[in-house]
Amino acid sequence: MQNIIEVANITYAYPRTDIPALNNISFSVPQGQFVAIIGPTGAGKSTLCYCFNGAVPRLFGGEMSGSVVVAGKDTYENEIPVMAQHVGLVVQNARNQLFNVNVQCEIAFGCENLGFPRQKIIQNLHDALTFVGLQGYENRQPTALSGGQQQRVAIACVLAMEPDVLVLDEPTSELDPIGSEQVMETITRLNRSLGKTVILVSHDTEFIAQFADRVLVINDGSLVLDGSPREVFSKADLLSSCRIRPPQVCQLSYELRKKGFPITDIPITIDEAVTLYEGLQHG
C-alpha cells in the first residue's frame, strides 16, 4: 500500500531555544492506518503534530531540517492552506480553534476558504454534523457547548474539508469519561468507517491498546519506539523510563510476571487478559 505520510529525519528547534523539540524523527504511515502517539508532557507530541501541515516551522519559526511529505505534498513547498486540503489538524485545546459565531459557520469556514461550491458546503456540513452526532446544533454558539461537543465540532470542521489524514492532539485530555468516550468513538469511526488515516496523540493507553494499529513513543523529542500496541505495551521498563502509564491490564501482568507467574505475552486488553488468566487457572 502507498504511504500517505513520509517523515524523514526531522529535527526542529523553536526560536530562541537550544535544545531541539524534535530530534531526527523518521517514520512513514500507509493510507488508512490508525497511529497513536504517546509520550510524557513536553516530549514534543504537539510539535510533531504541527509538522504535518507545516505550521512548524512556517508559523512558529525556528530551525528545521528533514522533510515531511503528506499525500505527495512537501510541507516545505506548500503553504499551510494547501496542506490543509490533505491534513486536518485538530489542535490541543478545542476552545482556541472555535472562533465563529455558530456551529454552522464554524464547520463551513474551512470549506468556504477552500472555495467549495455552496451546494457541496451544505452537503458536507450536514454529513459532518451527522457523523459527529450533533445534528440540530447548527445555530448554537460553539464556545457555549460542553467540552466533548466542542471537540466533536472541531473534528467535524476538519472532516468537512475532506482531508485524507486527521491529526488529533489530545482530544480528550480535558473531558469527563462520557465526553471522552463519545469523542473516542467518533475517532474510531473516522478510521474504521470512513477509512481516514488517523494520527492521535493521547494518554488514554487503554483506548489505544484496543483500537490503534500502531503506536509511536516520543520522549525528549526522539522517537524511541515504533510498533504495534502489543509490542509497545510489552516493554514495561522502557515505558516506565518514559513516564508513560500503560493500560492497567498490562501493569497487572507485569506485576504478576515479577511474582513468577508464567506470562510470556503481555495481554493488552481486558478480553485478552481474561483468556490468559483462565488458561493459567486451568493449566
Partner 1 sequence: MADVGYINQDSFLHRLDARTKLILMLAILVVVLVFTDPIYVIAILFLVLGAWKLAKLPLNMVGDIFKYFTGIAVIIFVLQAFFYPGETNLLQISNPIPAIGFSGYITLQGVMYGLALVLRLVVIMTVAPLLVMTTPMSDLMLALVKFKVPYRFAFILTTAMSLFPSIQNRAELIQQAQLCRGVGDFESGNFFVRLRASASILTPLILGAFRDSQILDVAMSSRAFGAPIQRTFLLESHFRQADYIFLAGSCLSLVGAVILRIMHLGVV
Residue 150: name the closest of 124, 172, 130, 121 by CA: 172
Contact status: 46 vs Mg ion (CB under 5 A): yes
Bridge partners of residue 8, in order along the sequence: 67
Q: How far apart are CA 199 and CA 177, in angstroms?
A: 21
Nearer to partner 1, 98 or 266 (CB): 98
**What is the torsional sign of CA 225, 227, 229, 232?**
negative
Nearer to ligand ATP, 14 or 109 (CB): 14
| In the complex, least distance from residue 87 CB atom to partner 1, rounded to whole angstroms | 8
Contacted entry of ligand ATP, partner 1, Mg ion, none for residue 17, CB cut-off 5 to 8 Å set by kind: ligand ATP
| In the complex, least distance from residue 181 CB atom to partner 1, rounded to whole angstroms | 25
| In the complex, least distance from residue 173 CB atom to partner 1, rounded to whole angstroms | 15
Q: How far apart are CA 275 and CA 226, in angstroms?
A: 27
Q: Which single residue is written with the C-alpha cell 516493554? A: 235
Question: CA-based Rg of the chain, rounded to a whole angstrom?
Answer: 20
| In the complex, least distance from residue 96 CB atom to partner 1, rounded to whole angstroms | 5
Out of 39, 88, 171, 246, which residue is the one contacting ligand ATP (CB under 6 A)? 39
Bridge partners of residue 13, in order along the sequence: 63
**What is the torsional sign of CA 195, 199, 202, 206?**
positive
Q: What is the contact mask toward ligand ATP in residues 40 to 79, using x (rule: CB under 6 A)?
A: -xxxxxxx------------x-------------------
Nearer to ligand ATP, 47 or 234 (CB): 47
Interface positions with ligand ATP (CB under 6 A): 14, 17, 21, 39, 41-47, 60, 92
